[in-house]
Chains A and B, each alone.
Chain A
Amino acid sequence: MLHVSSLSCRRGSRLVFREVGFCLAPGALLQITGANGSGKSTLLRVLAGLLSRTDGAITWNDQPVGNDAEAHRARVHYIGHLDALKPELTGVEMLAYWQSLRAASAACAADLFGIDAFKNKPVRFLSAGQKRRLALSRLLQDDAPLWLLDEPTTALDENGQARLAAAIAHHRAKGGIVIAAVHHMIDAPDTQVLAMDNFRTSPPLAGGTEGGLVNTSTPVSKPHPSPPASGVGASVAPPGHYLTRNFLHNLKLHARQKGEWASLLLFFAIVILLLPFALGPEPDLLRRLAPGLIWLAALLMSLLSLDKLFVQDARDGTLDVLLLSPVPLPLIVLSKLLAQSATMLIALGLMLLPAALLLGMDLTVLPVLGLTFLLGIPSMVLLGGIAGSITVALHRNPALLTLLLVPFYIPILIFAGAACDAAALGASSLPPLALLGAMLAVLLPTAPIVMAAALRQGQG
């Protein structure tokens, strides 16, 4: 039972909607209509918990949903405008990934959306409608009772629309609740309608209850053989399980994005190649500066790669899926950043020897340089993740990210340089390496928590 009363939402200085209220029993379907910009999507995002409400109350079985945000995320499936698909992965891989983000798995073998024909193809070969069907398949992953659908029929053909209607009917028959923002009403019995255009204007619609809820039919009185449990049947997996699966997924994604990583490596190589032209070709000078120059090139490369951390996810809708996953967000973020670090390390590892040879570096320093990368690059990625999570909501100013990060990168650069210098002089490079390790040890547990908090609040 979902109960919403006098809900208001303000975005910046704009009042998007106010005094929205409705009550949905198990098996109910609520269709939200309204012109573009009338606040349908905002309402759905507030109900999902992606945006905070300004006023009002949302309760599920008489419990305010804010009391246990994790339980609410487990009971919600939200399908937004964006399909949250990665063009490089296949449908099967996307489904497996989404499955790993849900706490419970109720393997629904039935191909309700007709994706079997194309689910082994990479997403970039799919049509808009096929992508939509794939995204809708998320609904079947587990028995989350509350479906929030934002214009779910977009790009769907008639067959797809019929399949969606059937899936909704099936979900309702099981006692689930569906709320959909629509422009063309989904054909279904016992449907309730909320007209967003009308709740703000003074003359209420005929038959409209307070808050603009218009009942076009009697409230649902279906038999509910199995009312949905408030929390999804918990088959709790150990945290390490999510961590590994997410990590492997991200690694696979990076492996498919070979082109992007190759261009980053090319950038690294070009910086290394250009440095002798700027500094002069004296071998002694280059040998002495080589570790620092390689680190500088790596730092510039990592700044360029930060864009991949959260901005891409925010753009394709993946971020919403991550935020609404019942899996703890710090774990998801940590696995993502570890994968990013691993890819960076592999890429840099490939270039390390050629770069060292080009600059005529003392090869006895190479192992220490490698160690500083191993300890320093993950710290840099974690710090970049913090800055990225703070600025992801802004997505307009990449220079800002650099400005925020520079003061935090300086100690890493200093300790890495000190370790290499010590090695070149034949002294012990253990102290600076230990300090690099200490920074990483502090960042590993704390940075994901900061990032998760920043990502959540960045949504409003």
Chain B
Amino acid sequence: MNILTRFANPGQFLKLAAILMPICAGGAVVSFAYGLYYALFNSPPDYQQGETVRIMYIHVPAASIGMMLYVAMAVAAGVGLVARHTLADIFCVAAAPVGATLVALCLITGSIWGKPTWGAWWVWDARLTSVLILFLLYCGYMVLRHAFDDHERGAKASAVLLLVGAVNIPIVRFSVEWWHTLHQPASLLRAGGAAIAPTMLKPLLIMGMAYGFYVAFLIMLRMKTLLLARRIEAAAQQDD
């Protein structure tokens, strides 16, 4: 509890962010430079997919972090509803556009990869469909959150939406998989059970780290900006 309350104190958060933000920024620059070089020039092309496999290094980290962010937002929303910490709402507001962008990036890069590989920009694959629905959930959250002028009410209403959405994710996942197996013959290229080659795994992990650093930096920056903006708002109200 002590840790939670200490972290949830905006002043403490700003102090912590002041230390962590340079580290994350530096980590992102270094690991992006190294990871991109590794992924684009220093790793082998796939024996089947050829050079297009390099899209994976952009695509996979975006997908996994985009999904993790939604879960993190739902957890923060739950904590915010119970413990009434404004920082939880600020985290959600800060993370939502980042998560939505990641998911959009995942969809776009997947589509670019799909055209040469599957011969179509989009197929109604179970995984693709559930990521698309995740994107819709992000959009719904952002639109709802910004529809409220009053922060407190907007925070509560959109936290409810996040939680209901988080409950919905496994249901969507399950139903879409069912739907897909029901309607779609297994015509797609299957990844197969073969494990990923170490020469590809290493750049992928580095890229994942780079995304992690960058996203952490971005969210902390946005949280800091939002906190300061709210302070300005509060100060303006005092002057009324």
Contacts and interface: CB of A to CB of B under 8 A. Distances in A.
A386 B165 CA distance: 12
B164 interface: yes
Considering residues A396, A414, A432, which has the most beta carbons from chain B within 10 angstroms of its beta carbon? A414
Given A394-B147, A414-B175, A403 B240 contact: no
B228 interface: no
A404 B147 CA distance: 12
A396 B153 CA distance: 16
Interface string B147-175: 11110010011001100110010011011
Nearest to A13: B237
A14 B240 CA distance: 8
Given A393-B153, A407-B136, A450 B179 contact: no
Contacts of A325: none
Contacts of A393: 148, 153, 157
Q: Size class of A's contact patch?
A: 35 or more
B216 to A, nearest CB: 27
Contacts of A408: 164, 168
Interface of B: 133, 136-137, 139-140, 143-144, 147-150, 153, 156-157, 160-161, 164-165, 168, 171-172, 174-176, 178-179, 182, 233, 236-237, 240
A391 interface: yes
B133 A410 contact: yes
Contacts of A415: 175, 178
Contacts of A11: 150
Given A13-B240, A400-B143, A418-B182, 12 more contacts: A390-B160, A391-B157, A403-B136, A407-B133, A407-B168, A408-B164, A410-B175, A411-B168, A411-B175, A414-B176, A421-B182, A460-B150
Interface string A382-418: 0000100011011011001001101110110011011
A457 B150 CA distance: 12
A82 to B, nearest CB: 21
Nearest to A417: B179
Contacts of A404: 140, 143-144, 161
A384 B92 CA distance: 24
A189 interface: no
The secondary structure that dominates the A interface is: helix
B133 to A, nearest CB: 5
B137 A390 contact: no
Nearest to A403: B140
A458 B153 contact: yes
A14 B137 CA distance: 32
Nearest to B133: A407
A414 B153 contact: no
5 contacts: A390-B160, A407-B140, A410-B133, A411-B174, A414-B175
B147 A410 contact: no
A15 interface: yes
A365 to B, nearest CB: 15
Nearest to B139: A403
Contacts of B240: 13-15
B133 A418 contact: no
Closest 4 pairs (CB-CB, A-B): A411-B175, A414-B179, A414-B175, A404-B140
B153 A457 contact: yes
A71 B165 CA distance: 34
A24 interface: no
Nearest to A387: B161
B164 A386 contact: yes
A402 B64 CA distance: 27
